[in-house]
Structures are given as C-alpha cells and as structure tokens.
Amino acid sequence: MLRLGVIIGVIALLGSALSGLAAYRVHDQELALDRIALARAIDVHASLVQDRLTERELLARVASGLFRAPSVIKANMLEPLRSSIYAFKTDFVVASWIARLRPDELTVAEAELHQAGFPNPTIRNFDDTPLGPNVDRPIDVLMDLEPRNSETSKLPGMALDRQPIVGPMLARAMAEGKPVASDPTPLLRPDGPVGIVLAAPVVPQGATAPAGFVTFSYEIGPLLLTNDDLSLFSVALKDPRNASDELVANDQGAVSSRTRGPDDPVPSSTRTVTFGNHDWSLVYYAKSNSVRRAQQTAAIVGVIGLALTGIICGLFGYVAYNNLRLSREIQVRIGFERRLTAVIDELNHRVKNILAVIQSIVTRTLRHGSDIDVARELLIGRIHAMSNVVTLLSESQWQGVQLRGLFEARAIPHAERIAVTGPDITVSARAAQSLSLLFFELASHSDEGLSLVGKHPHITAKWEVTGEEPNAVFHFRWEECNTSEATRRPDSDFGLILLDRVAPEALGGTSKRFFTEASYVYELTAPMDTVIDMTERDRTEQFSAPVHPPR
C-alpha cells in the first residue's frame, strides 16, 4: 500500500508538474499565435493601403505628365484627361486644374470662366471674399475641375494660395517639383468629408517653374480600408508631426478626430506609409486581449491536467510532439507567406513600372499630329524592345542581362550592321529596360543614311569601364559614320526625352549627342553602381532562394 501510495504520489506530482508545464506551453503558444496572426493581418493591411496610395500618386504623376506646354488661362484643361482619370478607378472626390496666374492674366481668366459656364467666374479668395485691387504677385486660381455638378461648379475662380491647408501644400509642391499631399482637411465645403488633397506640379517643356497644378482629393475613410467587426484590429491615421491627434474612420467610412490621453490603450503596432512626399503612420489597436485569452486557455488546460493526471501523462509526449511539429509548420508557413508577400510587392512594383513606361511610349508615340505609319512602326518597335528585355530578364530570374544581349537582331533594327565592342557586363533589370529602349531609338533613327564603307560597319557601339571600385564609371559611345543632319532621321519627341533625360536619370548619369564632320555621336556616362545595382540583384536572389524549415 505504501508503495502504491508512493507510486500514486509520484504520478500525482508528475501529473501536476506536467499539467503546469502544459498550461505554460499552451499559454505561450496561444499568445504567440495571436500575436503572429495580428502582425500578419497588420502587414497585409498596411501593404494594401500603401498600394492604394501608390496608385493614386501614380495617377497624379501620369496626369501631370500628359500636359504639354499648357495655356494656364484655359478653363477646360482637364478635357484631355477626363477619360484617363476615370480609367484608374481611384475613387477621387474631385480632380482640378489650378493655374498659376500673373496679375495681368486675371481679367482673361475671368472671361474664360464665364465662357465655360461656371456660375461665379469672378477671381476671388478661397472664402468667397473679393480679391482686392493690390494683387502684385502670381496667385493659384482654380480654373477647371471634374466632376462638374451643382456643388463643384461653384468652386472655379477661387484663389487657393492663401487657403490654410491647400496654400502651403501648393507652395511646397512648387518648391520640390514633385507630388505633395496636404494635411487632412474638409473637402468641397467646411462641413464636408475629411480627406487629403494631392497636388502634382505641371512644368511646361523648357520651363523651370510650374505653370499650375493637377490636384486629386480623396476621402480618408476609403484610403484606410476600414475593417469590419470581424477584423482583429481597428486602425487610425496619424501625422507623425502630431503626437496626440488621430483620425479614425467608423464602419460607415465617416472620419472623426480624437486626442489620445495618457490612460488610453497603447497601440499594438504602427506602420509607416508614404503618400505625396509625406510620411503617415497607421496606428493599429488590437480588439481582443490576447494575454487574457492565453491565460484562460492555460487555466483550462491546468484544471483538466490536475483532474485527469494519468491521461495527461500518457498523452503528454504525443501532445508535445504535435506542438513542436505545429510550431515548425507555423514558422515555415509564416516565412513562406512573408517571402510570397515580398515577391508579390516586388512584382507589383516592376509591373507598374513597365506599364508606366508602356503608357508613356504609347502617349508620346501617338501624340496629336504624328504620321500614323511612322508612329505605328515606332510603337511596335518600342514595345518589341520592351518585350525582348522582359523576356531576357525572365530567363535570368531578373538577375540582370548581358549588355551584348540587348543588341540582338530581333529587338534592334539593323543589328547586323552594328559593330559592338566592350567588356562583358551584366546590367541590372532597371538599367536593362532603359538601355534597351535607348538602343532601339538610336538604331531606328539611323536608317536614312545607312551605307557600308569598305568592310567596316556603318554603326559602332562600344563601352568601357574606367576607375576602380567603388568609383568605377561606365562610358558608352554610339557613332553613326557617314551621317549628317541631312541624312539622319530627326529624333522623335519621345526619343529626345529618352536620350537626354530618361535614360541618364535612370542610370544616375549624364548624356550628350552631337554631329561631327562625318558622323552622329551619342555618349552616356554613369556610375557602375547604378548600372550593375548589386542591391537589386541581392534582393532578387533572396526572393528566389528556397524556404527551409528551421532546425
């Protein structure tokens, strides 16, 4: 009996110890799973919000890029953009054209607004007060907007440079020369929905100062992707410059402001998103207390363990094994999902870049007044060049492309007449796309003066690398012999932009083109760091690496 008691006591002690250990393990696992699920949901939500913000900023950049030497006094400047801006489906509240007018242009602007049929064509302050007689500097005047309805038609003619929220935003956009987002402000009217205005400066070709701004206004509620009652968290938008105030959207999308106090719950997590050259904080609050839930689960396991000591002892090894296996599977799945999310984000970024380039190619090639046959030939060739480089990048898993491979006959006109010399260089994906279009533009405009001199090709393309790492420099030279301004086809508008601005900026370098007595020469110089871009290659290798379970 004593021995049985001792055995029972030992089993009881062992069962109690094992029950306590099981309760402790369950507590930690429940807490870890809740935190992992919450962190995963937050990461997905923040990524979706950033994607939506990026789409809207891309719309502003595309819209501003479609303007070509605009006449700022016109009241129908958005007419060419009306179908395009709706095609993006970004749910903007109002899109507008804000012209920067000199004092001597105000009378003409009023006449334009009157002719356009707006009910109040008078140039006035943002609060509908008279502008005053002493206007001695350029002002920002709302000249056109979309959609036009009974509410929005009252707005054209307002001078917005002194508006407390929009005015500083326009000044900053003009100074920085890039899209800028405003602070949260009521839209359309003082009691209207709270939103953000994104302004993109429009700089005419050859000018240094903006002629005006294309703006898009968005409500904050839809941008936050407000979650329903079943979500794991609630989200608020916060300006990092303001430590206490937050903007919160309810289930109906209505946005309100609240001030956090010292006794309010601490945020579970914070993510930073960028919109309009401005950083915003997404503040997440967990809707459930994961610690209390983990404690309750652990208590239940402990009680069951104390009541059923023998069963728990028999099953403990099995449960411990399954818990370990489950923990490994969860860790592997989390690692795979994070890798998948990163790959999707990278793919989205590359697809958006390619689509933006193709859109620019189509827009510039098929501009108004172009010869349709020439434009069709150039458009097909440019898209073919883009397709070729994407194929080469796909074959190398986006690890880069051999520079010589960009001169293949299927992508470059007259490739058999081009003498290519230079060391073997594997350029990055970004550099390959720019260089592929560059080589096509150079080759496609050289056919008017093509000829052979003896056994020497008409065109030479050579490159070299000078200097030592990390200061090595890439030099590229394109020369068309026996070519002059009279025999060479003039570069297209798209070609000039590509040769002089897009390709050099993409590689972080400089370019120049000129005619000698007997040839046409184009030279491009850039740092090797941007031509090769090891950071991009390392990131792509990390994405393509297999996921191994932890040991």
Domain limits of the chain? 2-60+291-341, 68-290, 349-537
Q: Which helix (H) or strand (E) holds 468?
A: none
Alpha-carbon gap, residue 397 to 408, rounded angstroms:
19
With 60 as the cut, is the pLDDT of residue 183 above it? yes
What is the predicted pLDDT for the residue at 60?
85
With 80 as the cut, is the pLDDT of residue 11 above it? no
**CB neighbours of residue 311 within 10 Å:** 12
Mean local confidence (pLDDT), 422-444:
83
Q: Which residue has the tokens 């289930």?
A: 251
With 90 as the cut, is the pLDDT of residue 475 above it? yes
What confidence tens digit (pLDDT) does each residue in 207-216 have? Answer: 788 888 999 9
What is the predicted pLDDT for the residue at 141?
92
Alpha-carbon gap, residue 401 to 429, rounded angstroms:
7
What confidence tens digit (pLDDT) does each residue in 296-326 have? Answer: 777 787 778 777 776 655 554 555 556 657 7
Alpha-carbon gap, residue 351 to 343, rounded angstroms:
12
Alpha-carbon gap, residue 351 to 359, rounded angstroms:
12
* pTM of this structure: 0.49
The residue among 137, 162, 169, 161 whose CA lies nearest residue 60 is 169
The neighbouring-strand residues paired with 479 are: 460, 521
Query: Is the backbone peptide bond immediately before 147 cis, with ω within 30 degrees of 0?
Result: yes
The residue among 357, 363, 375 whose CA lies nearest residue 437 is 357
Mean local confidence (pLDDT), 325-330:
77
Q: Which tokens in the block code for residue 342?
A: 């990163």
What is the predicted pLDDT for the residue at 199?
92
Higher pLDDT, 551 or 86: 86
Q: Identify the band that residue 61 occupies on the pLDDT scale cut at 50, 70 and 90.
A: confident
With 70 as the cut, is the pLDDT of residue 546 above it? no
The neighbouring-strand residues paired with 478 are: 461, 522
Percentage of the chain modeled with pLDDT above 90 = 9
With 60 as the cut, is the pLDDT of residue 545 above it? no
Residue type at 502 in one-letter notation? V
What is the predicted pLDDT for the residue at 319?
53
Q: Which helix (H) or strand (E) holds 143?
A: strand 139-146
Q: Identify the band that residue 511 occupies on the pLDDT scale cut at 50, 70 and 90.
A: very high
- Fold observed for domain 68-290: Beta-Lactamase (3.30.450)
Walk across the sheet containing 245-249 and list its strands.
Answer: 255-259, 245-249, 233-238, 279-286, 269-274
Mean pLDDT of the chain: 78
- Among the CATH numbers 3.40.50, 1.20.1300, 3.30.565, 3.30.420, which is that of 349-537? 3.30.565
Alpha-carbon gap, residue 294 to 287, rounded angstroms:
15
Q: Is 75 helix (H, G, I), strand (E, B) or coil?
A: coil
Highest mean pLDDT among 156-170, 285-299, 442-456: 156-170
Alpha-carbon gap, residue 11 to 219, rounded angstroms:
65
Query: Is the backbone peptide bond immediately before 470 cis, with ω within 30 degrees of 0?
Result: yes
Name, in order, each residue with C-beta under 8 angstroms of 514's C-beta and a sequence gap of 6 or more: 520, 521
Residue type at 459 in one-letter notation? I
With 50 as the cut, is the pLDDT of residue 27 above it? yes
Report whether 83 contacts 66 (CB < 8 A): no
The residue among 57, 477, 473, 125 whose CA lies nearest residue 277 is 57
